[in-house]
A and B are shown apart, each in its own frame.
Chain A
Amino acid sequence: MTARRAPAAYWTGFAVVLVLLALAPLVLPEFWRRFVTEILIWGLLAMSSDILIGYTGMVSFGHSVFFGLGMYGAAAALLSVKPPNLWLALLYGLVAAAAVAAFVAYFATRLRDIYFAITTLVFSQIFYVIIFTWTEFTGGENGLTFAQPPLSIPGLWAGRFTPETLHWFVLAVVTISYLLLRRITQSPFGMVLQSIRENEPRTRAIGYAVERYKIVAVMLSGLFAGLAGILYAVQNKFAAPDFVFFLVSGEVVIFNVMGGMGTLVGPVAGAAFFLLLREGVSRYFTEYYLIPVGIIFTAMVIFMPQGLLGFAKRRLNE
């Protein structure tokens, strides 16, 4: 917070990465272009969960719910309103994710540590069962498919999504979200969250309403996870119950651990690392890629709890 020299280095790095990511779709072949866009979306989901895991010290095993509700919310907007509208999809998705996040937050934040993790997991299973069995409304096992909405920014741009514009749109949303999340973690509110992580009883003793802060943290986190879900829905033109399933939540936790909790950028790097690892390992292990990846993950938990970017934690938070 005090050093004035570091932020300059930080912002330079930030600009370089941003420019590289913006140029990526122009130089990369089709497969890798899509890959980078996906990394950004999963990275946003991972960042959203970092607010809880890294900054507040609560491990959420239920982020798939927020992500999935974002998807289904977007699907509802795109299927019910003609012509399909991107901004309406964003609105519906965010409202759906926020509603679920409020519900989960209210119950789950009454518990700490492991109990919180289990409760979020159980909630994600509840919503999975509901979405899976409520076939008339959610399409059940098959999910919902819909047309991609056009990209229309009033007064600026109107047209269909191309792979490039989709990538830039996702990049813009993820960058704005990152800056917002970074600002939030550095705000007095974010400081309270970090003090909850460090010492909850003391934070309470100082006079902060810890429960309220936790509820807001879970809701914020859910909101950004829902945003990631909306982006994924727009990219892939479907919403499926698989994405509400607990496995997605598990992957989000893996992203965080691999990349480095409490850095915001780390989880994005973790998502990239995981997806690349999966891509590489799948060549040899096909669908059993989780065997080596799981072993690497467990080893990282034991030997490298800071993750890939943990060494830069101080700098990234300056």
Chain B
Amino acid sequence: MDPAQLAAGALAVAIPVDQILIQTVNGLVNGMILALVASGLTLIFGIMDVVNFAHGDLVMLGGFTGAVTIAATGNFWLALLVASLVIAVFGAALQATTLRPLLGRDPLTTILATFGMSLVLQKYAIWQWGPSARKIQEPLTGQFQLFYLEYPWYRILTAVLSAAIIGSFWLFLRYGKYGVWIRATTQDRIMASAMGIPVPWVHTGVFAIGAGMAAASGVLFGPLGGVTQNMGLDFTLRAFIVVVVGGMGNLGGSIFASIFISLLEAYASLIVSPAQAVIVSFVVLILTLLFRPTGLFVPTPK
């Protein structure tokens, strides 16, 4: 039977509950990885009005750094740590050299600058690591029975780890000394500066944290989808969508939006091909822009 008929038939008799539940788990797992990328992006936007076009490329670089470390040491956890730290330092350097001079200029110029960065990073990755995809070996190979599927524990682990990273970051923002600095700078840059907070360094630090989180998600994603040179744009776009749907600069909102959109995409892939399921997130974005341009998960705008 051809797939179209199958899909139509499946719709007619309603999709089996177990498939829906499996897609729910898939959606949650993908949503948590996406949330890890998006929270860095939204934080960077919230604090310095910079839309980081190269964010997805930091995910990609993190994935490659992780893959190289694993090839050298064979230890996944070490790779996760090394990739996050290396890319965080790299992010700090990028911010200090290209974004700091743009502080106070039109926010649009930062899009252009980060877009330039993104081009360079992408081509650099091809130059350095060649055009073929790298697969990262998962640290956990066990599986458990989820209805008719052998579901890998690793997927669950990525969701838990992502949640843990985001959670500890949230605690840091809430209670850490430097977390307070970050929140103060987000609220009022000039006042924070008047209170003696070194605002330029807070910016660099936040960019580094965002880059580190992006790198971590690149390593976590590695065993699931492989690391490729052009995965960056896909991540950037999805993270953008999530950040806009969740409300720019709103950490909680973008986490909800990541999960919401990933769930919708997972359900959509029951009916159409995964390539076409991407359109679902685009449609959500357009509807959001039409009816709640400030974001779905923020209090009603004034």
Residues of A that sit less than 8 Å from B by CB: 57, 59, 107, 110-111, 113-115, 117-119, 121-123, 125-126, 129-130, 132-133, 246, 250, 253-254, 257, 287-288, 290-291, 293-295, 297-298, 301-302, 305
**Contact yes or no, B127 A298, CB < 8 A:** no
Q: Does B123 contact A (CB under 8 A)?
A: yes
Q: Could you say which residues of chain A place their CB within 8 Å of the CB of B180?
A: none
Q: 3 closest pairs, A vs B, by CB?
A: A298-B116, A294-B120, A294-B119
C-alpha spacing A115/B121, complex, angstroms: 24
Q: Distance in Å from the Cβ of A289 to the closest Cβ of chain B?
A: 8
- Produce 1/0 per residue, B164-198, CB < 8 A to A: 00000000000000000000000000000000000
- Beyond A129-B275, A297-B116, is A246–B285 a contact (Cβ under 8 Å)? no
C-alpha spacing A287/B244, complex, angstroms: 34
Q: Could you say which residues of chain B place their CB within 8 Å of the CB of A291?
A: 120, 123-124, 127
- Beyond A294-B116, A295-B116, A298-B98, is A113–B108 a contact (Cβ under 8 Å)? yes
Q: Could you say which residues of chain B place their CB within 8 Å of the CB of A297?
A: 112, 116, 119
With most chain B CB atoms within 10 A of its CB, the pick from A126, A287, A297, A298 is: A298
Q: Could you say which residues of chain A place their CB within 8 Å of the CB of B285?
A: 119, 122
Q: Does B149 contact A (CB under 8 A)?
A: no
**Contact yes or no, B126 A288, CB < 8 A:** yes
In the complex, identify which listed stretch (B2-10, B219-227, B286-294) lies at the interface while the others stay far away: B286-294
**Contact yes or no, A59 B111, CB < 8 A:** yes
19 contacts between A and B (CB under 8 A): A110-B290, A110-B293, A111-B293, A114-B108, A115-B248, A121-B237, A122-B240, A129-B279, A133-B275, A254-B116, A287-B123, A288-B126, A291-B123, A294-B119, A295-B116, A301-B102, A301-B112, A302-B98, A305-B105
**Contact yes or no, B278 A129, CB < 8 A:** yes
Q: Taking chain B's interface residues, is the majority helix, strand, or loop, or is none over half, making it mixed?
A: helix
Q: Could you say which residues of chain A place their CB within 8 Å of the CB of B124?
A: 288, 291
C-alpha spacing A283/B286, complex, angstroms: 43
What residue of chain B has the Cβ atom nearest to residue A114's Cβ? Answer: B51
Q: Distance in Å from the Cβ of B302 to the closest Cβ of chain A?
A: 16
Q: Could you say which residues of chain A place their CB within 8 Å of the CB of B115?
A: 250, 253
Q: Distance in Å from the Cβ of B49 to the closest Cβ of chain A?
A: 8
What residue of chain B has the Cβ atom nearest to residue A132's Cβ? Answer: B275
Within 8 A of A (CB), among B230-260: 233, 237, 240-241, 244, 248
Q: Distance in Å from the Cβ of A266 to the closest Cβ of chain B?
A: 15
Q: Does B90 contact A (CB under 8 A)?
A: no
Q: Distance in Å from the Cβ of B125 to the closest Cβ of chain A?
A: 10
Q: Could you say which residues of chain B place their CB within 8 Å of the CB of A253?
A: 112, 115
**Contact yes or no, B51 A117, CB < 8 A:** yes
**Contact yes or no, A107 B108, CB < 8 A:** no
- Produce 1/0 per residue, B92-118, CB < 8 A to A: 000000100110010111011101110
- Produce 1/0 per residue, B17-53, CB < 8 A to A: 0000000000000000000000000000000000100
